[in-house]
C-alpha cells in the first residue's frame, strides 16, 4: 500500500488510539460525506441548468472524476488519472472536435462536474462500503439533472461497480455492458478484497445490474475467470480469436429491452504499443482503431460510460497514454451526446 493509501487508515488509528468517541468520529465522517455530495450536487445543478437553458440537448455527457487507486492489486497510480485526462482533452496539440464532427467546446455536448474527493473522504477513516455508496450517490446526482449522463474518469476498475449500480438503480432496471479490457475483472474477491479492481464485474453481475456483459480484448484470463464467466453467462471475446470475431464486434447492437448500454473502457484493452501508461502491461491487445471501430459502429442508447486504469506514473514523457485516454473520452462523448 502506498503512502497515500495509508494516510486515511493511519489517521483513523490515531483517532482511535486517542480514545475519540466513535459517535464523534462518525458525525465527522458524515459531515465530510455530506459536504462532498453537496459539492457534486451543486455543480451538477449548475451544469444541468446551463444545458437546459441553451436547449436542444437530449443527452449531454458530464465528466465525473473518481480518483480512486487503493483497490489496485499492483500499482495505485490510476488515482492520479482524472486531472491528467482533462488536461489532455483540452491540450492545444489537437482540437476539440470528435471524429464525427461534434464540438466538445459546446456545453450541450460535454460538461464537467469535477471529482469525487476520494482521498479526503478516506482521510477521515471512511471504509470502502461507505465510499462505494458515496460514488454511487454522486453518479445519481449527475443523472438527476436531465439531460446529463455520467462519463466517469477513473481511477482503478473498482469504480465501475458503484457507477453501474447507480445507473441501474436510477434507471430502475439492468443495462447491457460493453467491457473493453485485457482482463475479465470477475474474480469473486481477488486477494480477499471484494472491492478489488479485479472483482468489479462479479459484484455487478451478482447485483443483477447487467442483463448482458460482453468482454472484449481479453488476453489474460485464469481458470477462475472463465468459470466465473460461465457462471454469470458472460460473453467473453478473447484476443486469440479476434480476427474471427471482428465482424461481430464491429457490428454490435445492444440495449434493446433494457434501460440502455453502459461502456467500460480499461485502457489496457489496448496493446501497450498504443497505451504504455497502464499498471498491467499485457502485449497482444487491440489497436486504437480496433477500439474506435467497435465504439463507432455500436448501435444502442449509451446511458453512461467510464474510462479507467490509465496510470500517469507509467506514461511516457510526452504523455502519449494521456492523449489516448483523452481521445477515448472524446469519442465516448460523441457516442452519448445527442
Task: Share the mean pLDDT of the chain.
Answer: 95
> What pLDDT, in 10s, does the model give residues 294-326?
999 999 999 999 999 999 999 999 999 999 999
**HSE-up of 123 (CA within 13 Å, CB side)?**
7
Greatest CA separation found in the chain?
Answer: 63
- Per-residue burial over 98-112, b if 16 or more Cβ lie within 10 Å, else e, is beeebebebbbbbbb
Q: Give the confidence band of 83 by pLDDT, cuts at 50, 70, 90.
A: very high
Spatial distance between the Cα atoms of 157 and 321, rounded to a whole number of angstroms: 17
Q: Give the confidence band of 283 by pLDDT, cuts at 50, 70, 90.
A: very high
Among the ranges given (1-10, 131-140, 218-227), the one the predictor scored with the smallest mean pLDDT: 1-10
Q: What is the pLDDT of residue 25?
A: 87
The Cα-based distances of 179 to 44, 183, 267 in angstroms read 26, 10, 11
Binding site listing for Mn(2+): 157, 181, 183, 185, 266, 268
Phi and psi at residue 269, in whole multiples of 5°? Answer: -65, -25
Place of cell 465504439: 295
Q: What is the pLDDT of residue 2?
A: 44
- Report CA Rg, the chain: 19
Q: What is the pLDDT of residue 20?
A: 75
> What pLDDT, in 10s, does the model give residues 127-152?
999 999 999 999 999 999 999 999 99
Average pLDDT over residues 155-174: 98
pLDDT at 182 over 80: yes
Q: What percent of the chain shows pLDDT beyond 70?
A: 94
Look up residue 157 and give its DSSP letter.
G
From the list 37, 104, 116, 74, the residue with the least C-alpha distance to 306 is: 116
pLDDT at 51 over 50: yes
Binding site listing: 157, 181, 183, 185, 266, 268
Q: What is the pLDDT of residue 18?
A: 60
Amino acid at each position: 500500500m502506498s503512502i497515500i493509501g495509508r494516510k486515511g487508515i493511519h489517521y483513523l488509528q490515531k483517532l482511535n488510539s486517542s480514545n475519540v468517541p466513535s459517535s464523534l468520529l462518525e458525525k465527522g465522517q458524515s459531515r465530510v460525506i455530506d459536504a462532498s455530495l453537496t459539492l457534486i450536487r451543486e455543480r451538477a445543478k449548475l451544469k444541468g441548468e446551463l444545458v437546459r437553458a441553451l436547449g436542444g440537448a437530449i443527452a449531454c455527457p458530464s465528466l465525473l472524476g473518481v480518483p480512486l487507486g487503493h483497490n489496485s492489486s499492483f500499482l495505485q497510480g490510476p488515482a492520479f488519472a482524472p486531472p491528467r485526462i482533462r488536461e489532455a482533452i483540452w491540450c492545444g496539440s489537437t482540437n476539440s472536435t470528435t471524429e464525427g464532427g461534434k464540438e466538445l467546446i459546446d456545453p450541450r455536448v460535454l460538461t464537467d462536474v469535477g471529482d469525487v474527493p476520494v482521498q479526503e473522504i478516506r482521510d477521515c477513516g471512511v471504509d470502502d462500503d461507505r465510499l462505494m455508496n458515496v460514488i454511487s450517490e454522486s453518479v445519481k446526482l449527475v443523472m438527476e439533472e436531465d439531460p446529463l449522463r455520467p462519463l466517469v474518469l477513473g481511477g482503478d476498475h473498482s469504480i465501475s461497480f458503484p457507477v453501474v449500480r447507480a445507473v441501474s438503480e436510477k434507471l430502475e432496471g439492468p443495462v447491457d455492458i460493453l467491457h473493453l479490457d485485457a482482463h475479465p475483472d470477475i474474480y469473486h474477491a481477488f486477494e480477499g478484497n471484494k472491492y478489488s479492481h479485479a472483482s468489479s464485474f462479479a459484484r455487478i453481475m451478482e447485483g443483477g445490474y447487467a442483463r448482458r456483459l460482453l468482454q472484449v480484448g481479453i488476453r489474460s484470463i485464469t481458470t477462475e475467470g472463465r468459470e466465473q464467466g460461465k457462471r454469470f453467462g458472460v460473453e467473453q471475446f478473447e484476443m486469440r480469436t479476434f480476427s474471427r470475431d471482428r465482424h461481430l464486434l464491429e457490428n454490435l447492437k445492444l440495449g434493446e429491452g433494457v434501460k440502455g448500454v453502459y461502456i467500460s473502457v480499461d485502457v489496457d484493452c489496448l496493446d501497450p504499443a498504443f497505451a504504455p501508461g497502464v499498471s498491467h502491461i499485457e502485449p497482444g491487445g487491440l489497436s486504437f482503431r480496433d477500439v474506435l471501430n467497435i465504439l463507432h459502429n455500436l448501435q444502442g442508447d449509451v446511458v453512461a460510460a467510464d474510462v479507467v486504469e490509465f496510470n500517469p506514473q507509467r506514461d511516457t514523457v510526452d504523455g502519449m497514454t494521456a492523449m489516448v485516454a483523452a481521445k477515448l473520452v472524446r469519442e465516448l462523448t460523441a457516442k452519448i451526446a445527442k
